[in-house]
Amino acid sequence: MRKKHIKKIMIFIGILILFMVLNNTNFFSGKSEHQPLLLAHRGMAQTFDISKVSNDTCTAEMIYKPEHSYLENTIPSMEAAFKEGANMVELDIKPTKDGQFAVFHDWTLDCRTDVEGTTMDYSMDELKKVDIGYGYTYDNGKTFPFRGKGIGLMPSLDEVLSYFPEKSFLIHIKSDDAKEGEQLAKILSKLPEDRLRLLTVYGGDKPIETLNEKLPSIRVMSKGTMKSCLIPYILTGWTGYVPGTCENTELHIPEKIALFFWGWSGKFIERMEKSNARIVIVAGDGGFSEGFDSKSDLNRLPANYQGWIWTNRIDVIAPAFQNKHTE
């Protein structure tokens, strides 16, 4: 009797394992006609060695020799990114003294501009007089190729959304201040629903939670929303079940851990998209905005990958990607 009991348990375990494998394999998936979509980090930007970046690094002081004239987080750089083939542009926002949001990355203005302090020390009109190209150098300060060329280029969030009324953006709240989530909610709540569907917001847990409470229809992402979706999925995803916490979110999946998610990549993405969750693959372990930035990087993508690709080099990846899929 004991042997029969053990045999039944072994058969059950075998059937369960077979179900888990078949339910999550991509082996039988046909070739998809849906191509990956491209997310351009900060638009068309100057580049630098990401491996040397830490929390307080002034990246403007360590750029490579410029290959183009565009500066990150500006309307010309976003326009260039979209023309290259970006499906979405990521931008950073910082609050101003007069209650607006400036599109700017750094915690302070000291690094790349000709003034000091933070955006909160200035009105948006005052920030329009700032030279955002002032601090850029590729030769340790011998020359400053963009000095004097960045005056008037810092846009407000309102300007960007008005200039690109039908384009998709990923808006980055740079802080963990709940007040910024509330402020952004007031601005975005004035937009029609069809415009909101083209916007996603990510940032610290507190502002994202506040924004989501005030404006539940907009797609969001934070460390908190990522954990609340992916940890339960790791535990139950083998069944095909997607937790309700994944709904209407964005998930940035580092390629080094992507294989740990049930059904990666095809079935995983298909399941998440049914919950209106967007999947963006980022390079390496996802630290400091690592992206797929060279032609060879595309070879690391899963076969028939159908999600979004995070890139710092839309000017390289968009043409390379198009060539790759027209061969």
280-291: pLDDT as tens digits? 999 988 777 899
**Those residues with Cβ within 8 angstroms of residue 77's Cβ, 6 or more apart along the chain or in another chain:** 42, 43, 44, 45, 70, 71
CA dist., res. 227 & res. 237, Å (int) = 14
52-64: pLDDT as tens digits? 888 778 899 999 9
Q: Which two tokens stand for residue 185?
A: 């909610």
Flag whether pLDDT at 326 surpasses 50. Answer: no
Flag whether pLDDT at 74 surpasses 50. Answer: yes
215-262: pLDDT as tens digits? 999 999 999 999 999 999 999 999 999 999 999 999 999 999 999 999
**Parallel/antiparallel/unpaired status of strands 88-95 and 278-282:** unpaired
pLDDT of residue 15: 65
pLDDT of residue 55: 74
Q: Is 241 helix (H, G, I), strand (E, B) or coil?
A: coil
Residue 77: asked if its preceding bond is cis (omega within 30°), the reply is no
Tokens 């209650």 belong to 99
Q: Which residues pair with 68 in a beta bridge?
A: none
Average pLDDT, whole number, for the chain?
A: 91
CA dist., res. 230 & res. 245, Å (int) = 9
Q: In this structure, are residues 243 and 232 in contact, taking their beta carbons and an 8 Å threshold?
A: yes
Alpha helices in the chain (DSSP H): 2-24, 75-84, 124-127, 157-163, 178-188, 193-196, 205-214, 223-236, 266-274, 314-324
Flag whether pLDDT at 292 surpasses 60. Answer: yes
Flag whether pLDDT at 211 surpasses 80. Answer: yes
Q: In this structure, are residues 83 and 89 in contact, taking their beta carbons and an 8 Å threshold?
A: no
pLDDT of residue 191: 97
CA dist., res. 160 & res. 82, Å (int) = 13
Average pLDDT over residues 201-215: 98
158-195: pLDDT as tens digits? 999 999 999 999 999 999 999 999 999 999 999 999 99
135-151: pLDDT as tens digits? 999 999 999 999 999 99
Q: What percent of the chain has pLDDT over 90?
A: 81
pLDDT of residue 113: 98
Helix pair 205-214, 178-188: axis angle to 10 deg: 30
pLDDT of residue 307: 95
CA dist., res. 131 & res. 129, Å (int) = 7
Q: Which of 12-21, 46-55, 62-71, 75-84 has the lowest mean pLDDT?
A: 12-21
pLDDT of residue 207: 98
Tokens 């979110």 belong to 249
Q: Which of 123-132, 141-150, 158-167, 313-322 has the lowest mean pLDDT?
A: 313-322
3-state helix, strand, coil in the chain (%, to 5): 40, 15, 45
**φ/ψ of residue 129, rounded to 5:** -90, -5
